[in-house]
Structures are given as C-alpha cells and as structure tokens.
Amino acid sequence: GAVPMTPEAYQEMRLQREMWERNRPLTDEELDAMLPGEKDGYKVLAAPPSYKPIIDPAR
Amino acid sequence: AAQRARNQRLPPEVNRALFVRNLPFNISSEEMYDIFGKYGPVRQIRIGTTKETRGTAYVVYEDIYDAKNACDHLSGFNVANRYLIVLYFNPVRHS
C-alpha cells in the first residue's frame, strides 16, 4: 500500500497541484473567452517574424 | 534558487495575463514582443485599437512565473518617455 504522507508533504502536493492547474496551457478558445476582443476595441497583435521565444533551459 | 521559485505558490491575484497601460500609441509589434518577450515566451498580445483602448494591451505569458517576473520588473518601465503601468488581469473586473 501507499506510504501515508506527512501533513507537510500533503500540503506541498496540494500547493503544487494548485500551481499546476493555474499554469496549464491555454487554448485559443479559453483566451477568447477570457480577454476583451474586437468588439471591445482590442486586436490580437501578431508576433513579428523576428520573434524567437526565449526558452529557459533551467526549467 | 530559480528552480525553487518555480515550485513556489504564488498569491491568488498573480495571473498569466497582464494588463498594460500607458503604452506609446504607435508602438510596433517588434517593440512589444521585444519588451515583454524578455521575461519568457509570450502566448498572445492584444492591443487596444479604439480611442478608449489605445495605449493599453493585454499580454499573456505561457508561464505564470514568467508573468510574475515581468509584472515585477516592467511596472514603471520607461518606454519613449512614458512609464508603463502593469497590472495582473482580473477576470472578475472584466466580465
């Protein structure tokens, strides 16, 4: 069977799960539902061809 | 330290979407991605196009820790003699 967790380990797991939930990838539909769009006076600004996302290798 | 910071719990108001005010009206896509892209991959930018919304934008990061870092460092950042105002997006306020 599973080894019972200490309260500290349980709390740690709960917090990590919360942060994981807040940090999961967003779909375009979710973004559209969340943010103001064309009718609210905003347009999506396309990334310039020069844009290279900086990926942090330490992650 | 960076690794530990990544697992840290962030306050509830911290959000991957930032609301930015006081941008120059004529700012280019290159400049926007240059300024905000420094802190990590940008998921999407929405920029104000009307009289009421010009000079404001929503900047969404892929990662919440990058968004926090950007918010901490870009508040008061000087762009073309203007000081940026950077806030966390508040879904309640906008719905």
pLDDT tens for each residue of B27-72: 999 999 999 999 999 999 999 999 999 999 999 999 999 999 999 9
B41 and B6 in contact (C-beta within 8 Å)? no
In the stretch 2-21 of chain B, residues with CB closer than 8 A to chain A read 2-3, 6-10, 16-17
Q: Average model confidence (pLDDT) for chain B?
A: 91
Q: Structure pTM?
A: 0.88
Which tokens in the block code for residue A5?
């967790």
ipTM: 0.86
Contact A29, B44 (CB under 8 A): no
Q: Average pLDDT of chain A?
A: 89
- d(CA A27, CA A33) in angstroms, rounded, equals 10
Give residue B91's pLDDT band: very low, low, confident or very high (50, 70, 90): confident
In the A/B pair of chains, how many CB contacts fall below 8 A?
93
Inter-chain residue contact A25 with B62, CB threshold 8 Å: yes
Q: pLDDT-derived band of residue A53, with 50, 70 and 90 as boundaries?
A: confident
DSSP state of B22: S
- What H or E segment, with its residue span, contains residue A10? helix A7-22
Looking at chain B, the number of H-run helices and the number of E-run strands are 4, 6
To the nearest whole Å, the CA of A3 is away from the closest chain B CA by 23
Q: Where in A1-59 does DSSP place strands (E)?
A: 42-44
Q: In A, which residues are within 8 Å of B29 by CB distance?
A: 45-48
